[in-house]
Amino acid sequence: MLLQTKSREVSWNGWALLLRGLVALAVLAFGFTHGARAHSLDDIDAMLQSGEKYFQQIDKPMPDFTLRAADGRVVRPADLAGKVVVLQFIYTSCPDVCPLHAEKIAEVQKMVNSTPMKDRVVFISITTDPRKDTPDALKAYGPTHGLDPANWLFLTTAPDQPEDTTRKLAEAFGHKFTLADDGYQMHGIVTHVIDKEGRWRANFHGLNFQPINLVTFVNALTNNVEHPHYEQHEGWLAKLKNLL
């Protein structure tokens, strides 16, 4: 009987979490449609600073780069103008945290792509092991870990670039991928968020941040929420905060 009770509790908790996520997404979709008029980006930063311990506010230009996608086309920051960018550094032979990081981003992408934000956000993975990560490996990695190619890119170096180009780019973003003797790389886990004007606006550290918090921040950036506006009625962000 105790086992059955525990089983019912686990089942109920799972449904409760799912329901909360669905409601939160509905509120996000409402906020997107109505331009998130009730709050400024400072309000959202303050909410995340107090409620998401893995959130780091940043405001600086995105480091410049010239890389190529798995299909061979060249990608530069200028090509991403008008899109909010969610960016990570990984490499395909990583045996542990990289797959988990990719799957975390896939979870965020699924939430974003269920709203009108889908066409305004691009997810980018950059390999730090371009020698091993061939175009075929790059193409296969995303779908294997649940990433949707519709608005996801996997970038690597061009043939004429040094092999450590993307690792130096990772350093410009504030963290290192250090080659070990066994061919693996020692590194941290950071998800970077870039706004539509190419400014680096936030980091979400590690794997334990709440995906809905990252989606909330991305939603604010897609709506150009920079200045406070006040309404008599409770805004979408306050409703979302109350749900979480």
DSSP 150-162: GGEEEEE--TTS-
Among 104, 62, 64, 88, residue whose Cα is nearest residue 175: 88
pLDDT at 99: 94
pLDDT at 42 (0 to 100): 63
* pLDDT score recorded for residue 180: 79
Give pLDDT, residue 124.
97
User: In which element (H, E) is residue 238 found?
Assistant: helix 236-243
Kindly list the averaged pLDDT for each block of 10 residues, start to end, along the chain of length 244: 42 44 47 44 62 88 96 96 97 92 96 96 96 92 94 95 95 86 83 97 94 94 62 43 47
Query: Whole-structure pTM over 0.95, yes or no?
Result: no
pLDDT at 206: 94
* Cα atoms found within 13 Å of the Cα of residue 197, Cβ hemisphere only: 10
SS3 category, 11: helix
Interior CA angle at 152 toward 173 and 103, to 5°?
80
Q: How far is it, in rounded angstroms, from Cα 192 to Cα 189?
A: 10
* Range 39-233: architecture per CATH: 3-Layer(aba) Sandwich (3.40)
